[in-house]
Amino acid sequence: MKPSSTVLKVLTVIAIVGVLMIALMRIGSLVDERRGRAAEAARSIEESQAGSQALLGPALQQVCHETWQETERKNNTVVTTTQRRSITIRSTPDLLSIKGDVAMEPRYRGLFKVNSYQAGTTLSATWSPMQPPTAEHAGGRVTCEAPVIAVALTDSRGLRDVAIRVNGQPLAVTPGTPFDKQPKGFQAVVTDREAGNTEPLSAEVTLQLVGTGGLAIAPVGDRNVVDLKSDWPHPSFGGRFLPMKREVRENGFDASWTISSLASTAGRDFLGGAPLCAGVSAVGEPDDPREYVASSAGSPCIETFGIAFIDPVNPYSLTDRALKYGLLFIALSFVAVGMVEVLQRLRVHPVQYLLVGSALAVFFLLLLSLSEHLAFGVSYAIASAACVTLLAYYARHILGGWRAGLAFGAGIAGLYGALFLLLQMEQTAMVLGAVLLFLVLAAVMVATRRIDWYGLTRSTATPA
């Protein structure tokens, strides 16, 4: 039996929807490509300047030597030899106080912005007197070298100005650390005159640190008090500890942590030789759980906490989220046109369906390209206004009048408004989308409740 023209038209429209789905997938691939280029720009900045930073210290290391005499008889002769062994002692602070002021300095690679920062940081630490190890051999004598105070980093290229004062006296700073697993950073030798043999030791380290994307801190002290402030209004707090107090304002944030060694394993991780790892800095991906992972449970790295400086309005992530609703856009628009065909007895050619769907697909391409140059909200308004105007003008000729064309344009504008609302409401987007889809379905069912679909397929429609 020869299929009716209505069935053929429905099959043709379904095929058009498939073609438009392929077009949306290609636009999605383009979004991924541009996002990859943004990541390459971030890596280029990190290679040229410094990556995401993790900060450990200050900590002390002292090398002591035990010497003793051993005698043995060889060929009826008593031979005396001097034996020697080295002992390395590391000490973490009893109290570690860190104050930091982070100023953002965005860097650009072409169209792509990368969040770089400069942190003015003051590290204050106090230690109890370091006790030399006891001799393990009879007649052994223990002597100790001057202790070394050191601060470790994950990327020492970010160091700018550095100054160390111990018990009020400045020390000469040299590159590197004496720590095998954390070799990057800086150090200073504490002479007996500055350190003293029986007095507690206190140190103050000031430094300017440059990094990209994020900053992590290892709470290696017995008691750690950290206060950070910045002019960046979009911090993402991560790692093993969230701040006890935080205030996020439109022009920046303040955050503070108070962490005890009873709650953190950072000090034990450091003394046990665990490495210091930088966090993972995503390129403006507020929905990405890898956005800043300073360290996690079961990680071989020293336990840390940190902040990622993210862009909450990222054009690639928002465009990608908008694309997920692209098929729904096309389907609802085709349903609207089909409803007009059914209720007004008009005929719309499949080519006209294709052109309407193409305009809806081009919206996402416009949104992607414009958002690389303008703010996302402005780009969305321009792209949606252009598509609504075009579709309203075209619908005026398809549907036979300005009233119908403007009504169709108003419906498309409502869809764009609903999509923008969904993009802003991350937590309730699924609920809102489901409710809107239900309302559209209910409206279609109510409008077509009295239509005789069998009679409709036998009737002859009049051309528009």
Residues 37-64 pLDDT 10s: 887 877 887 777 888 889 998 999 888 8
Q: Which residues of the chain have pLDDT under 50?
A: 1-2, 193-196, 280-294, 460-464
The residue type found at 337 is V
pLDDT value of position 224: 94
pLDDT value of position 458: 59
Domain 52-309 has CATH 2.60.40: yes
pLDDT value of position 174: 92
Domain extent listing, the chain = 5-38+315-458, 52-309
Measured CA to CA, the distance from residue 267 to residue 257 in angstroms comes to 16
Measured CA to CA, the distance from residue 94 to residue 224 in angstroms comes to 9
List the one residue out of 342, 360, 374 whose CA is nearest residue 419. Answer: 360
pLDDT value of position 289: 38
pLDDT value of position 455: 65
| pTM given for the model | 0.73
pLDDT value of position 293: 45
Strands (E), 128-193: 141-144, 148-153, 159-166, 169-171, 174-175, 185-189
The residue type found at 183 is P
As to burial, measured by CB atoms within 10 angstroms (0-12 exposed, 13-18 middle, 19+ buried), residue 278 is buried
